[in-house]
Each structure stands twice: as structure tokens, then as C-alpha cells.
Structure 1
Amino acid sequence: MPLPEFPITPLLPQILQSLAAQPRLVLEAPPGAGKTTQVPLALLRAPWLAGQRILLLEPRRLAARAAAGFMAQQLGETVGQTVGYRIRFEQRISAATRIEVLTEGILTNMLVDDPELAGVGAILFDEFHERHLHGDLGAALALEVHRQLRPELRLLLMSATLDGARLAAWLDAPRLSCTGRAFPVRVVHPAHAPHMPPQAQLRRAVQQALQETDGDVLVFLPGRREIAQMHALLLQAWGQDVRGEGAQAAPEILPLHGELSLAEQHAALAPGADGARRVVLATNLAESSVTLPGIRAVVDSGLAREPRFDPNSGFTRLETVRIAQDSAAQRAGRAGRVAPGLALRLWPQSQRLEPARTPEIMQAELSGVALGLAAWGSTQLPWLDAPPAGALAQAQDLLRALGALDGENHITASGRRLRALGATPRLAAAALRAPVTLQALMADLLALIEARSPLRGAAARSDDLRVALAALHAWRDGGARAAQAHGAEAGALAAIEQSSRGWRQRLGVRGAASGVPAAHSVGDLLLPAFPDRIAHQSGDELLRYQLSNGRGARLHEASALRGEPWLLVTELRTAHGDALILQAAPFDAARLLSEYPQRFSSTRELRWNAQRGAGEAFVVERFDALLLAQRHVPLAPAEAAAALLAGVRAQGLAALPWSEATRGLCQRVRALRSWLPELALPDLGDSALLVDLEHWLLPVLEGVRSLTQLDGERLHAALRARFDHAQWQALQREAPMHLRVPSGRELALDYSDPAAPVLAVKLQELFGLAETPRVARGTVPVMLHLLSPGGRPIQVTRDLRGFWDRTYSEVKKELKGRYPRHPWPDDPWRAAPTHRAKPRGT
């Protein structure tokens, strides 16, 4: 039967011609152009396909079902004949199926399991601009297969907003564009009301959209929680003229997100009744993956929920983030499909958006990718954007801890079983080790952890994973009323039950779990999945825990898990201090010894007691970085010296008993090393001494138990031992400790200023001395601090001759009357030097 006309229809012959001449192609076409459904159907007629299958990749299950259903309808068939689909836990295909619509993760597994893709003639990547993790991996694997094994395999990348030039260069492919059939869309940024809550502003925008247009309204919200809140708010406000004046009937309010039942999804995607208006509350699922009929206005919150991986904690969380420019364009374009439309953007017009969204591979946890690459046999693929090396290495570390990779990062037999199960590597590791009697419960946990929480209200704030499990079992045993009693949403639990049923089928379990499981069964089952997220209570602090990776974490004040000694943490929010535990379950600590004996350690540790100035020895029991127990033990003689060294390193050299002579020695050496580096004197600076403690300090610590027993003489002797005979003699000669002055006295030189040594001397002691004394082979003049007979500074100079010639006479006039008993000769060159006053009566 002839296919209906779409904007893409005139371009189909050119697409067929291009793929006949060149097996790779990049196709740009706006939403609603028909690329998703019309291109695969057109390719069925291509001679080069020769009866082979076409794989159409969709980023979401809802889009896969919708695309397959629409194509089958066009052919006058049911899904599963010429057109079928395969998604997790569900497939409708047959021997007659020529077009298979797949979600992206399924293609990845197909390529790894059968790189030649026998019987497949073309792979079409739809909505590639979304840059999901498995989309990028699947495209890289497909391109490698095309280059190495199947040069005739056709590869087609399709999207409405993408960097076509970059993709065409990467794929080495031509680029075709379809102008589409779009009507103008008026973009408005409503005035922001600072004191109005965000939900109220959204409601006001919906009201404006209904008043200014006559079709359906599509509202973009970040997630299911916001959709539920907005749904309730609109229903509550319906009597406040949210419809707009003159409306004959209240619009129908429909949610649209990936966790709805099939019936609810179909209701949102189906056209409304004649004359009835609809308000569809959707996640970014509605940006490009599905077609919504009748939309004339879009209300865009500008937000989306995306996974973000924190490599410091090893946790991935869904975070609410600002959308990029390409997403904003996709969303606004939904309003111009059938007539001129309106897009209300709830952010300031001046706010700058990033041009395009960040590829998920750059910010996601990569253990699934790393396991797939290990099964493939190489990480060297023709990536559009290669995964970050650090995140990939961390994922490989986790896989080794799970036993999925060996020391060379090759996949193990256990890793192949993990990958075959189809869960994330963590959860697959737990599922494969679950006892047969608990596999039904394990299926529930697989479904619960991979889904968003079904809990609402106060229950949603619970950090005990067992609360959601109890709600699931209550709903399973008692229906919607029982679910409500547990603070859970029956619809969300129904979606989780559907997923659990799929896991039970894969695990070979017939019946579902029910009732209340044992207190530790949830944590015990998940222990193999999260071996790096074990938390132990910190002493007497009921809310504070230490994680097995050494980091701190805490429970919130109202935690249901308060007082549990051991927790398995499944969700964590990182912070500058202790992280916040968002979800966890208690487990039986005895399982650690049976499951992970190699992670226990008993070590003898030396510590420094700063108050005693001495070392202490302890025997410490640990599980990874978790401190389990410690006991004080006597310190061995060899350990005492090592502990003292550790204490000096911890406290610095100031902890040692420095005498004036020892400090002076270090100052002299520092100065002389600067003035005469050719002498190659040992370095007595703080940094060098700390680095080399074992060589100079350790020999004098024999018999010393604390720093209080170490005296200045030993310390000086330790430093003296660093010099050989020639070095020591050079130090005494070129940087002497004392200097003999004309009065006959030996006066100390002060080397604290590295520029020059200082000699403090009474002026009368230098009579007859014309030249300034020098050190360091005569290259460095001494800085003279000339003192009065009373010991007060008169002059600071490095030019003694100049002082006698120019300054002495003035000093003599000023001080002779003050110190009459001391000599003040007219000719200091010929006067006798002295440090004494004149005898009385002279």
C-alpha cells in the first residue's frame, strides 16, 4: 500500500541513492518530518538490502514501541510481522520481521556477541543528538565493524538538531538535510515574579498558553515528581479559570514519562477527542523521541534530569540541570507542527544556554561500557568522544573488585555471566550470587534500585531501602490501598512489578516474593554489588559512619537507620565534609569475613603521642580503610627510634632540642653554601634535614624513648657528623663562629642574616683598625654594629674606614660628654683599642 506523504518523502529517493553509492550517511530532519518511520520503510525497497534486516535504534522504550506500531499500521499489519521491536523484557518479532526497532543497549550487546551482525544490512541511529551512553558506544562499535568486517553494512545517523558537519567528518559520510514542514513559533519569556513559587509560575504559564492558543499544551518538566506535583496543582486550580475564558470544557491533564504503564503512555500519544483540549506534562522524552498530535503551545521549565557521576565518591545521581540550546530548540519546535505556535520559556531571555548537551559518556559511570569493551577485546574504538580515561580506569577498578575483569583488564568467565544477565555490573554481581531461595527477592531489588522511588510524601524521605521493598510487597499482597498505607504510588509500583517480573524470568524464578523479609536480607543480598560502599558506625556517634574507602558519611537527623552498626550504602550525596547517606540497608557483618576475607588486615602501627613526645605501638584490625579494633602494645627498641623520626616529621624540626650553638651552626652553613657553593657543604636547611632524618638523626637515637631524653649536645653531634674533615675545617676558616678584634677579645659573629654576618662591638675596641673584617675568603664584608660604651648602637656599617674618616668626629662630639671615662682620641688610627673605661683619676 502507498505510504502517506511526510516532509521527508521528497528526500527519500536521494537518501536511497546516497546509500547505494556510499554506505554511510548523516541525515538532518526536524521533529515530525517522518524520518523515524518513513526512512526504514523506504529502505526496504533498496536492492542492496537483499532481504536483510534493518535495525532502527531508539533512545527510549516508549519511542521504540511507538515507532514500530506506527510503521506496522502503515503497512496494514500488526507489530511483530514486517516491523517488530525489542526492548528490555519485551520483544515482538518473528521470522518475517525485516525492521527491528531496538533500544540502544540491545544493539551494543548484539554487536559484542556477533560482530559480523549476520543478516543485518543497515543500522539507523535515530535522535543521535541526544548522545546517550549506549548510543555512542553502539555507533563506535558499528563503525568499527563496518571498517574491519562489513564494509557493505549501511550506517545512517539521524536527528533534528545535531552538529551535522562534525558527524559527517567523523563518519566520513555525506550529509543530507530536510527542511521539514514547520510553522513559525512565537517564543516568549514571561516576566519573572520573584516572590511567586516556581509551580505557581508554571501554572500561570499554562493558563496563558491555553488562553492564547486553541490547541493542546505540552509542558516540559524535569521528572516524574514535578509532573505529579503539577498535575495535582492544575487539578486543584481548575476552578480558577485555568482553562481560559470561554472554554467549554476543562482540558484533560495527561502525564508522559518512561515509567508509565503502556495504557497511560498510549493515552498521552493518542489524539484527543474532537474539540477536547489536553495539557500533556512530559519529561524530555517528548523532545524528539515521540510525536504528540495537536500541540499548539509549549511551556518549557528549561530543566531536565540527567545522570552525573562523581568519581571521588564512585556514586551516580540524577541531577536537575539546565537544558542546552539544542534541547530548547527541539522543545519549542513541538509547538509548530500543525499550525503557528507559542513557546513560553520560564527563564530570563538574557540567560545563556550551552549550545549542546554534554555527551553522557563524558559524565556517567562507565562500568557497563568498560565491561562491554572488555568483552569486545579493546578500548580502542573510533569514538566520536572518547570516554574520560580517569572514569574508565575507575570503572575497570570496580569490575576487578566484582571479579568481572582480571589484572590485565581481560573479561573473566564471571564477567561474561554478569554481562549476559543484562543488569548493571554491580547488580548483576549480586544477582548471580543470590541464594536460590532469595532470587525472587533479588529480582525485586533489581527492579527497585534501577527505578525511581515509588514512595511519596513523608515516606519518600526515608533512607531505608527496605521501606520501598515493603511497599512493593504490600501492594503485591493487598493492592492500591495497601500501597497507599505505605506511602507509595500504586502506578509506580506497577511499573516496578513489571520490571521485577522480567528479572524473575531471567533468573528462572517462578513465584514473586511477599511478606516482610528478614532484617538483614536486603543488605546481605546487595553486599556483592556494593563491596566499596560498606559503612561502619564511628564510635559513639549514632549518625556518623566511615565508608570502606576511608571517607566519612552521615545519616540525617530523622533517619530510620539510626544506630545500625553496619550499613550497605546504595545512594550517597557528596559534600565538602561528610557525605549524606540517602539510601542504605543494614547487613550482617559476619558475612564480611566469609565473603571478603582478603580485605581484612591486622597491622602493627607506630603513632606519635605529641603530649608525651614519644612513640606508641598498636595492633590495628581493619576492613579496607575501616578501623575495626586496636590495642596498645609495648614499643620495641627499634620501633622507638622509628616512632621518634615519625614524630619529628609530624611536628617539624622545632620539636628537637635546638641550642644556640646548633642553630648558629645551621645558619653559618646556610650562609657559606650561598657564598662559596664550590665547598659543597652539606645542606642543613629544614627541608633537607627532614628528608634525610634516617641518615643523620637515627644514629644518635639509640636508647632514646622520647624527645625529652634527647639533649642539645647529641643533636649538635648528629649535625657535626654530616661533615668530613676538610668540610669542617673550611667552615671554621671561612665562616668562623668568633672574630678577634683589636682589643684582643673574641666576639661572636651572628649569621642569622644570610646577606652578611653581623659583629656587634664597642667602638673603642676597633681603634687602630682601618679595614672592615671579611669572611668567605675575603669576599663578604662583616656588617659592623658599632656600639656606644653603654652598649647602644651608634652606627651600622660595612665600611669602617669611611666611618673613621667621615662619621667618627660627629659621634665623638655627641658621646664624649655622656661617656667621659671612656677614651675619645682625636686620632682613632693610632689610639690603643680597649674594652675598658679609663682608670679613675686619669
Structure 2
Amino acid sequence: MNRPAFPIDELLPRIRESLAAHPRLVLEAPPGAGKTTQVPPALLDEPWLQGRRIVMLEPRRVAARAAANFMARQRGEDVGETVGYRIRFENRVSARTRIEVVTEGILTRMLQDDPMLEGVGALLFDEFHERHLAADLGLALALDVQSGLREDLRIVVMSATLDGERLATFLDAPRLSSAGRSFPVSIAHFPARREEALEHQTRRAVEHALTHHPGDVLVFLPGQREIARTHSVLENSDATRGIDVLALHGELPVEQQSRVLQPDPDGRRRVVLATNVAESSVTLPGVRVVVDSGLAREPRYDPNSGFARLDVANIAQASADQRAGRAGRVAEGWACRLWPESQRLEPQRRPEMAQVELAGLALELAAWGDANLRFVDAPPPGALAAARELLQRLGALDGGTITPLGRRMLGLGTHPRLAAMLLAPSNRDEQALACDLAALLEARDPLRSRSDAVAERWQALAAFRAGRVAADASRSALAALDQQARQWRRRLRLEHAPPSNAPAHLLGDVLLHAFPDRIARQHPSDPYRYQLANGRSAKLFDDSALYGEPWIAISELRDDPRDARVLRAAPLDEQRLREDFQRRFVTEDRVVWDANARGIAAVRETRFDRIVIESKPLAKPDPSRYADALVDAVRQLGLRALPWTPSLAQWRARVRCLRAWLPELAQGPAALPDLSDAALLDTLDAWLKPALTGKTRLDALGEQELGEALRSTLEWSQRQRIDALAPVRIAVPSGMERAIEYDYDDETDAPVAPVLAVKLQELFGLADTPRIADGRVPLTLHLLSPGGKPLQITQDLRGFWDRTYPEVKKEMKGRYPKHPWPDDPWTAAATHRAKPRGT
């Protein structure tokens, strides 16, 4: 094959020079520049590679196959010789392979199985701008390997649209950019008509393009469903007669994908209906027109199913620009956008890390043994904590440590829920059922009915295998399910056909291993309501096929703060549940706070996880458990349930203010404690529980005991420092001591200025406003009349004497003639009394 020229060619010497001098590189190049297929071969003979392999991460299977095939043809070889690829369920590499194109899950497995990456000299991350979670994880693992084990490992991050400067800074890497090769592209908007379906809007745009513009037409649609509908509509259009209408997506057979990626042998014009796989990962010859729906199917966490689902979403502006650029690869082009020009798109694609469920990531981190990896964007802490809780239930983690089962789950390369279910059965029939259920959970629903029974879907699959298709079932969906289940059996080395029939509870007995948090028991007083193992509850629909089942395993659940609904489930056998999860059935005595009775209740409970199966009152509970129950009461009722005195509330405010005024007092080993509501509630067991020991009622806690509990974490020197820096009272020139009032504003999370309320006559002779906290904080003076009424509020006492006092004296002298009102307050004697008689 004659090698064509690519825009990236002129940059290849600089890429080689950079990697010879530095182990990391950020490479920016637009679609069509040739980075995917030209950079790996250009590095094969570099001295630092020492004959080792180059592994390139490609986010999509279509692109992985296409890139490997193109590079192999350039060398006049078959795939699997110098250049090969590995994707899910398909391996085309050999001992001779030196460039290996892999999809995301494959790279993670390589790193986990061999952190030294023996035989690998370079990792290339292609299309990194798509920000898939697996790519972010792969890069974080690679950086960890490079920093600790393999300083000679080269890491190249390649992207078409990305904030390259930010990434280069993060990686501490050089940044190279290729201008690419493109021609001008005219942009037009082609909004939908009222209530017009996407396929009909697309047909109008394609017909316009074929009539008014030359070249092939590339249409971007969200997914297979939209592609199929649009294909059907275009087949009946007069404008597409004699034109080849083709589909391009990841589920097509390899032969059909290859056909789309080659020019038409008869020179006919083509309309290619593609998912975003055509956005940057593959090259389509002859395209002069792009019709862009502005939509893509992207992973989003679906709380109904517990998995990430592909939802239709608006693309980012960077993706829209990239798609439009596809029209300008060979000549001037035209891009038609199917959304209004006034609609604004997000500038860049959001990282998958921020919008999917993280159980798979948490399991990978546990297997790696270090959760503190360097991520371009760190995993959200809340989502990561929820993922670890799920892994505990699945048996994949023990504490924070991965279990042997967890390692086996990781080896399957699928969501931990599915992996746990696939590995749980001990007999071959149930293993085959697990493969069927894994396929059902991953795929779109094969039934058109709204039934909530998992059994009906499996029975439709079993009927399809027997040559029957139910009236409400999709033949194509069932065929895809059958194929996926067969692949899972092959993956598990299970040479056993699935059973032709199975009782409904057997499906639930297998399914419960994927959803241990959604095992549910019928509520004793409401047959439509179920208590879940995770502590929540949910209701069946009125026409549910599951009505009357005592136990169910829920695979889909519509969460709702008011009333969650069971969307899909299967009944299970309680005896089997007790056998499989024996350790989660417990009987224990509990002393708990009863919020309704506002008192302590002592009961003996039998539970499965958080499902209470039986509860009986206890006549003689263990007294040592009362303190725990009283602490729970405070958690429920809040800190206001405690006997706060005004002086204790002031002490707490003083400590909180000092931490804000003097930041050094909030840090280090001698730091003052955080006494905010949140901090006190989080640490109730440490400071309050000892004070409640031996008590059976919350109101038995005395005011003094509460004060000592709060101060219990302070050293004597810290207590003295608080009194010195934030005194309760302060001496004034009259010789008296007056109280300082402290306050802390929880809404603004900031101290309120401390207040000293004092009669004006007591401050005669004092020039400057008193200060506390090592002189950093002035007091707010509430200057009072002899009768205790406010005259002035100020933090500038000197200014008050100079400017305001003469007016105050004039007004007050007649009202309070028995009190001193000197002309010169600077030299007058301060007093808290009236003038002596006769003066």
C-alpha cells in the first residue's frame, strides 16, 4: 500500500525528539491529521523503545479495529503480525506484535496484571478529549507506574479538542500541536418543525444536502435506534435513489464496518448514518457534507438500575466543531446543524468521572492498593464512598481491602454487580442463567410491555431459542441478548446450554447476588410495600405481576423521595437467601431512641441487613447500651436538645470566634476544637457519650456536666488562653468590670463583632476603643445613658469624643442632671455613680 501524506508527518521528527528527551508528551491534532495511525509506527525504531511494544488505547472498538487494519495495510501485513488489536471478546495479536491497539478495559487489566508492564515501552492514549472514566483511570495508573517502577516508560496523551495547556501542566510534559489539514466549512442551522420527529427532520436535511451540495453525506445520530429509524425513512425517499445509505456503529459486524470505511467501489455517492464513533476516531473518505443532530448517547448513572446507562444528551461545542470539520477534509464543505442557532452548548465535554456510578473504579483502586492516584479530575468523594459501600455488600471489599472474590470479579472486566452474580452460582444451570441475566441487565428491554417481572423477559429469551417470538417482543433484541449470553458463557468457559425453563424464584436466587442492597421483604401491614436491605422502602404498581411475593430481588427501581417504585424484579426463596447470606441474618438486643415516644426503647431484633424481620420488647436491657441510644437521640433531635446555659453558649461562641480571628489557633496539635454544629454532631461519641454513661434519660444530663463534656478535650493551658484572648469581662476606667457579649453567625460562618455595653460615664478618660484577641479585634461599644438606654454604637471611641459627644452631652444634661457631663471627657474622672450631693 502506498503511504499517503498526512499533516502530522512534519511533526513526527519533533515528536521523536521530545520523547527521546522527556518521558511524557501531550499531542494535539485535529481529526484527519493522522496521529492515530502515523505516530505509533514512527516510534517503532526509537532507541529508548529497545524493541518493546507500543500499546495504544482507543476508546471504541470500531476505531481500534480500523486503526490496526490501516497500520497493518501500510506495512503490507495482516492484522496480528506487527500490528494487532485486543477488544472485548476479540484478540488479534501474536508474539510478533509490536503495536497493540486496545480498548479501555483491556488496558486497565494489563496494568493491574503486570504493573511493571514488561515488554511495553510506550503507552499512547488516543482521543483523550472524550474523557472516558477508563481512560482517566488508565492514565492515573500509568503515571503511578512511571513514577515508581518504570521511569523509562513513555506516556503520550493525544487529543483532537482538549485544554492542552492544562493537561501539559498537570503532566509536566511538553505540548506539541499539529495544524491538521482542512478546508473552509459553511455552517447552517436546520431547526425542526413543530412536533417533527428526528428521523423526518434528518431526512429533510439529507435531501437538501444531496440536491444542493456535492460529495458524500455524514449524518451524526445518537445511537442505533435513531440510525435504524432514519435509514427506514431515507429508503423511501426519492432523493436517495441510486445512493448507498449505510450505518456505522460499534455493534455492526466487522465486514459491514470495513465497507463503510472504504470508498464505494462503483463510485456512487453515499449517506453514512453514524454515532459519534465517526466524530474523531475513524476516517470516512469522500465526505463533503455533515448533518449533525447535536445529540449523542453518553453514560449517565441510572439510579433505577444501579448501572451507568447510555442516555441521549446534547453534545459539547467542541464536539460540534469537530463534527463540522469532517466536511472539510477533502475540499470545501457544508455542515448542517439540526438545532436552533440561538441554542448554546457547553464548551467542553464533562468527564465521565463526574456523572457515572463508580463501583468499578473503586474496585480497581482497591486492587491497585493505592487510592491516592493523580487524576486529571479527582473522583467525587460522595460517589466514591457510595461505591465502596456497595462493594462491601457484594463481598468484593473487606473494610478497604480487596477480597479474593473481588479479584475474581475484577478479572471479568464488567460492572461489579454483574461480576458478583456471574461468579456466585455453584451449578451449571444457574451459571448459564447468570449469563442470561447479565445479558438482560446490560441490554435494552426486549419486551414492549410494562411488566415488572424479570421472569417474563427471560422466558421470552428461552422461547426465542426454541424458535418462537412473543407478540410483544423484539426479535433483533432477543437475538442480541442470545449472542451476548453466549459470549458470557464462553468467557466463563461454561460449555453448558441454558435451561429451557426455570421457576421464577430461581431467577431471583441468582439475581440477588447482583443486587444485595435491593433484596426486599414484603411489609407486614401493606402487601404492595417492600422493605429493602439498604434501609429504604418501595412500592409495587397496582397491576404488578409480583404481588403477593414475600421476598424479591429488585433489578430496577425508580427512586423517589416520596414513594420509590419497583420497575423490575424477581421473587426469591427465603431459605436460599439464608443459605447464601447466612452472616447477614442477625439477632441482637438493641437499645434505641424512639423518636415518636421521645424515649428509649429496648428490643430484641432479628434482621436481614436493615430489614427488620421480627422485633420483641426486652424486659431487662443492658444498661451499658443506654448511652448509645441517648447519643442517637441527640443526632436526631439536634444540639438544641441539650441543656445549654447562656454562659456555656457564650463560651462556645468565644472558642469559635477565636478560631476565626486567630487562624493559627485552628491548626496544629494545640488547636482549639471545632465547635460548629456539624463538628459536634460528628464527634458525639467522643465528647458527649462519656457524660451520658449510666443515664437512662436525656434530661438527666445536667448543665454542669454538659459544660465539662464540651471542655473535656481542652488542656488547662488552652482553657487559660481562651480566657486571656476572649475574656468574659473587661475592666473599664470606672473601676468596674463589664461583660463582653460574643456571637457567631452560622449562616455566614463568621464571627459577629463582640459587644461591650457600658454607661458612657464609665469611659471618661479612655481615648481608644478596647481590643481583644491579642489586639486584633476591636470591641463594638454600646454606649448607654445613665438609665441604661443606648446612646451610640461605635468602634471608634476617639471619634465619638471628638465629634458626637458634644451633641449627646447637650441632649442628656437636662434629662440626667444628677450625672456628670463634663466639657472635657478626656480628663474627667470615670464613674458608675451619679454626682455627689452638693456638686
Could you state the TM-score of these two structures normalised by the residue count of structure 1? 0.71
Contact 1:80 1:94 survives alignment (8 Å): yes
Equivalent residue number for residue 427 of structure 1: 418
Provide the rounded CA distance (Å) in 1 between the counterparts of 2:287 and 2:460. 37
| Residue 357 (structure 2) aligns with | 365
- Pair 184,454 (structure 1): closer, same or farther in 2 beyond 3 Å: farther
Does residue 489 in structure 1 map to residue 480 in structure 2? no
1:809 is matched with which residue? none
CA distance in structure 2 between the partners assigned to 1:367 and 1:486 by the alignment? 34
Aligned counterpart, 2:170: 170
- Structure 1 distance, partners of 2:543, 2:585, is 32
1: CA distance, partners of 2:311 / 2:538: 20
Q: Kindly indicate whether the alpha-carbon contact (under 8 Å) linking 2:132 and 2:351 is maintained by their aligned counterparts in 1.
A: yes
Residue 6 to residue 250, structure 1, CA distance change in 2 (3 Å)? same
- Structure 2 counterparts to residues 106-121 of structure 1, below 5 A: 106-121=106-121
Alpha-carbon RMSD across the aligned residues, in angstroms, is 4.5
Aligned to 1:328: 320
Deviation at 1:700, TM superposition (A): 12
Q: Secondary structure at the match of 1:448?
A: helix
Any stretches of 5+ residues in structure 1 without a counterpart? 654-665, 675-690, 702-714, 723-778, 782-801, 803-842
Q: Which residue is 2:130 aligned to?
A: 130
Given that 1:315 and 1:572 are in contact with CA atoms closer than 8 Å, whether structure 2 keeps it comes out as: no
Deviations 1:186-213 (A, max 9, x none): 2222244344344433333333333332
Amino acid at match of 2:496: G
How far apart are residue 631 of structure 1 and its match? 5.5
Per-residue Cα deviation, 1:202-232 (whole angstroms, up to 9, x for no partner): 3333333333323333222223333333334
User: Alignment partner for residue 596 of structure 1, among 578, 581, 596?
Assistant: 581
- In 1, are the aligned partners of 2:509 and 2:577 still within 8 Å (CA)? no
**Deviations 1:121-179 (CA, angstroms, capped at 9, x unpaired):** 11111101111111111111112222222222221111111111111112222211112
* TM-fit CA distance, 1:495: 4.1
Alignment gaps of 5+ in structure 2:
651-686, 707-785, 789-814, 816-839
Would the alpha carbon gap of residues 338 and 468 (structure 1) be closer, same or farther in structure 2, given more than 3 Å must change? farther
Indicate if the aligned counterparts of 1:454 and 1:493 stay in contact, CA closer than 8 A: no
The answer to whether the 8 A contact 2:304-2:557 is kept is no
Q: What is the CA–CA distance in structure 2 between the aligned matches of 1:400 and 1:648, rounded to whole Å?
A: 28
User: Could you list the per-position Cα deviations for residues 681-717 of structure 1 after superposition, in whole angstroms to 9, with x for gaps in the alignment?
Assistant: xxxxxxxxxx999999x9999xxxxxxxxxxxxx9xx
In structure 2, what is the Cα distance between the partners aligned to 1:44 and 1:628? 65
Q: What is the CA–CA distance in structure 2 between the aligned matches of 1:647 and 1:401, rounded to whole Å? A: 24
Q: How many residues align?
A: 678
Say which of 526, 530, 552 aligns to 1:545. 530
| Residues 1:61 and 1:563: Cα distance change in structure 2 (over 3 Å) | farther
Alpha-carbon deviation of 1:265? 3.0
Alignment match, 1:787: none
Residue aligning to 1:626: 611
2:440 counterpart (430, 444, 448): 448
Q: For 2:495 and 2:80, how far apart are their aligned partners in 1?
A: 26
Question: Map of 1:158-557 to 2, 5 A cutoff?
Answer: 158-235=158-235, 238-239=236-237, 241=238, 243=239, 249-309=241-301, 316-407=308-399, 409-437=400-428, 438-450=430-442, 452-453=443-444, 455=446, 458-459=448-449, 461-478=450-467, 482-483=468-469, 485=471, 487-490=473-476, 492-539=477-524, 541=526, 543-557=528-542
Aligned letter for 2:413?
G
Q: What does the per-residue CA deviation read over 1:222-269, in whole Å, with 9 as the maximum and x for residues that have no partner?
A: 23333333334444xx24x4x2xxx6x253433332233333433433
The whole-number CA distance in structure 1 between the counterparts of 2:636 and 2:533 is: 29
Give the Cα separation in 1 of the matches to 2:545 and 2:100. 47
User: For residues 484 and 302 of structure 2, what CA distance do their matches in structure 1 show?
Assistant: 27
Query: What is the CA-CA distance between 1:427 and the residue it aligns to?
Result: 1.9
The CA deviation at 1:325 is: 1.4
Give the deviation of 1:410 after TM superposition.
2.1
Shift of 1:636: 9.1
SS in 2 for 1:520: helix
Matches of 2:497 and 2:299, distance apart in 1: 30
The aligned amino acid for 1:477 is: A
User: In structure 2, what is the Cα distance between the partners aligned to 1:77 and 1:519?
Assistant: 52
Give the Cα–Cα distance (whole angstroms) in 2 for the partners of residues 326 and 285 of structure 1. Answer: 15
Distance 1:504 1:652 in 2: 53
Aligned partners of 1:178, 1:699: CA distance in 2, in Å?
Answer: 74
Partner of 1:561 in structure 2?
546
Bigger-Rg structure (1/2): 1
**CA 341–582 in structure 1, closer or farther in 2 if over 3 Å, else same:** farther
1:401-428: CA deviations, max 9, x gaps?
2222222x12222222222233322222
1:289 aligned counterpart, secondary structure: coil
Which residue in the other structure is 2:675 paired with?
none
User: Matches of 2:363 and 2:560 in 1, distance apart?
Assistant: 29
Q: What's the CA shift string for 1:606-661, capped at 9, x where partnerless?
A: 787979x999876544322323344678899999x99x9999999999xxxxxxxx
Q: 1:83 is matched with which residue?
A: 83
Aligned to 2:658: none
Specify the SS of the correspondent of 1:357.
coil
1:575 corresponds to which letter in structure 2?
Answer: D
TM-score w.r.t. the length of structure 2 is 0.71
1:53 deviation in Å?
0.9
User: Conserved in 2, the CA contact under 8 Å of 1:311 and 1:391?
Assistant: no
Aligned to 1:147: 147
The question of whether the paired residues in 2 share the 8 Å contact of 1:315 and 1:571 is answered with no
Distance 2:144 2:596 in 1: 62
> Is 1:24 the equivalent of 2:24?
yes
Deviations 1:4-37 (A, max 9, x none): 2122222222222222232321111111222111
**Aligned-partner residue type, residue 44 of structure 1:** L
Aligned to 2:342, what secondary structure does the other structure show?
coil
Match of 2:670 in 1: none
SS of the counterpart of 1:196? Answer: coil
Counterpart in the other structure of 1:823: none
SS in 1 for 2:554: strand
Q: State the match for 2:823 in structure 1.
A: none
For 2:741, the equivalent position in structure 1 comes to none
Tell me how far apart the structure 2 counterparts of residues 591 and 646 of structure 1 sit (CA, whole Å): 37
Give the SS at the match of 2:513. Answer: coil
SS at match of 2:142: helix
Indicate if the aligned counterparts of 2:539 and 2:563 stay in contact, CA closer than 8 A: yes
1:443-466 deviations in Å (ceiling 9; x for gaps): 22233323x22515x24x443333
> Matched residues in 2 for 1:488 and 1:576: separation?
34
- SS in structure 1 opposite 2:246? strand
Q: Is the 8 A contact 1:311 1:394 kept in 2?
A: no
* Mean Cα deviation higher: 25-34 or 394-403: 394-403
Alignment-derived partner of residue 52 in structure 1: 52
Looking at structure 1, the residues matched to 411 and 229 of structure 2 have their Cα atoms a distance apart, in angstroms, of 39
Distance in 2, Cα, partners of 1:606 & 1:402? 28
Amino acid at match of 1:25: L
Is the contact made by 1:551 and 1:578 (CA closer than 8 Å) also made in structure 2?
A: no
Instruction: State the distance in 1 between where 2:498 and 2:615 align.
Output: 42
Cα deviation digits, residues 92-128 of structure 1 (max 9, x gap): 1111111111011111111122112111111111101
In structure 1, give the amino acid aligned to 2:459: A
